[in-house]
Amino acid sequence: MPTNLITIARSGAASARAAIEISAQNIANAGTPDYVRRTLANSELVGSGNIDFDAQSAFSGVRIGGVQRADVDVLQRVVRDGISDLAAAQAEIAGLRVGEIALEETRVFETLVDFESALLLLESDPSDPALRTGTVEAARLLTQTFQFAEGSLEDARDLTASEVSAGIDVVNGAAGELAQINVALVNAREGSGGRAALLDARDAALKELAGEVGIETTFDLRGIAEVRMAGTPSLLLVSGNMASRFDAGFAASGSAQFEVNGTPLTLENGAMAGRARALDRLIALSGELDAIAANVITRVNNAQAAGAALDGSPGQPLFSGTGAADIALAFDQGALLALAQSGSLPGSRDTTNLGNLIASIGAETGPVAELDRLLLSHASRIAGSEATRDGLAIIAASNQAQLLRQTGVDLDNEAASLIRLQQAFEANSRVIQVASEMFDTILSLN
């Protein structure tokens, strides 16, 4: 049946051409993020029918099937979870880093130690006006540094809070996009290139979402996604064509509170959870710095109260204020420093009270030791988080590599396919030629 032969070969050639198109599409998108390799699902086409009395099957070549997209939902989910964990660690470290810079670069520890050294210097000659002035100026620098450090911590909080606000827009944008993709998926025909592109877009949106907040996703048969936030409680973010409104508010203390459609929830991972944790830590840091400043104020002012100034009058408080934000000098005359013990005569060079103050500042519960512990614990926390982050980064990268193995385009593979398909196309053409020659042979019979 030469005509049948021609039909079969034509369908084969068409199928080879279609497969080459898919290969070309794969090669073109070899570098496209979130692109999943496509393949063509072909099937044999056999026509059967009764002609006269003879039931017969008629080979009709190949049927060009739909565009297939590797189904890797489970792997995608693992990748998303890895991204959420990594993003949380990274966002937290970023926030903590700003806090570390605020504490270390303002040199608050060094300034406190300088103040201590200035006091120690006074021991040599407590009546020297130059040394007294130097000590008051060291105290002034200390107040300014505390305020500077507190201001820097406040800036760090503001920065993290603005990142939280920016993240809100990303989440709501991705959720809205997902709802629209869900609608489009309902109308997309199974096996069409458009549907595959929609699924790519769906996975990309989910990945973007996972970077900001941890999510739990389920798909129905048509690939429509339902997204829940991983948190307590687990709230619905996207269902069908409905996207809930994700929002964040800030408490008076400055800590972030998340809500979905007005229902509050605590997030487990994702960059938003990391930022919220960093924000809480920065707030705690401010509180601890405040406590240390208060410690300095109390210890110095108590010592002042227990001593006598250079003119023999009872010591006045050196610092005013209650914390790092409002610590200030109450006087700036060096003569008012109460270095001698209470009741000393004017001009006394007694240093009993000064010795007590130096011991009090350097004590195990004093501000120097407390500040060192604060810096040590914060730095250790960052170093620990960085170790965790590095581990999570390796996990995320290996998940991603695993996914790419299944979904990525292998150019060598595609090149081999091209050669194979080219040969298939040529072979089918040859079949047509053979059929035509057979036809000619029959027609030339006399």
Give me the residues that bind other proteins (CB under 8 A), please.
30-31, 37, 39, 41, 68, 70-72, 97, 100-101, 104, 109-110, 113-114, 116-118, 120-121, 123-125, 127-128, 340, 344-351, 355, 368, 372, 375-376, 378-380, 382-383, 386, 397, 400-401, 404-413, 415-416, 418-419
User: Which of residues 21 and 259 has its CB atom nearest to other proteins in the complex?
Assistant: 21
User: Which of residues 409 and 431 has its CB atom nearest to other proteins in the complex?
Assistant: 409
39 Cβ contact list (under 8 Å, min separation 6):
22, 67, 68, 70
Least distance from other proteins to the Cβ atom of residue 352, Å: 9
The two tokens of residue 401 are: 């590599």
Least distance from other proteins to the Cβ atom of residue 402, Å: 9
Least distance from other proteins to the Cβ atom of residue 297, Å: 20
Least distance from other proteins to the Cβ atom of residue 319, Å: 20
- Helices marked H in 350-410: 352-362, 367-407
Least distance from other proteins to the Cβ atom of residue 41, Å: 8
User: Which of residues 373 and 430 has its CB atom nearest to other proteins in the complex?
Assistant: 373
Contact present, 209 and 230 (Cβ < 8 Å):
no
The alpha-carbon radius of gyration of the chain (Å, integer) is: 38
The residue type found at 250 is F
- Helices marked H in 106-128: 108-122
The residue type found at 269 is N
User: Which of residues 152 and 351 has its CB atom nearest to other proteins in the complex?
Assistant: 351
Best CA proximity match to 231, nearest among 253, 256, 252: 256
Distance CA 189, CA 36 (A): 18
The two tokens of residue 73 are: 């939902």
Least distance from other proteins to the Cβ atom of residue 383, Å: 5
User: Which of residues 402 and 436 has its CB atom nearest to other proteins in the complex?
Assistant: 402
The two tokens of residue 8 are: 């079969």
Q: b vs e for 247-269, b when ≥16 Cβ sit within 10 Å of the residue's Cβ?
A: bbeeeeebbbebebeeeebebbb
State the DSSP code for 2. Answer: H
User: Which of residues 197 and 438 has its CB atom nearest to other proteins in the complex?
Assistant: 197
User: Which of residues 234 and 352 has its CB atom nearest to other proteins in the complex?
Assistant: 352
Least distance from other proteins to the Cβ atom of residue 191, Å: 13
User: Which of residues 251 and 419 has its CB atom nearest to other proteins in the complex?
Assistant: 419
Look at the block and give the residue holding tokens 């410690």: 295
Least distance from other proteins to the Cβ atom of residue 40, Å: 10
Is the preceding omega at residue 233 within 30 degrees of 0, hence cis?
Answer: yes
- Torsion on CA atoms 45, 46, 47, 50, rounded to nearest 10: 180
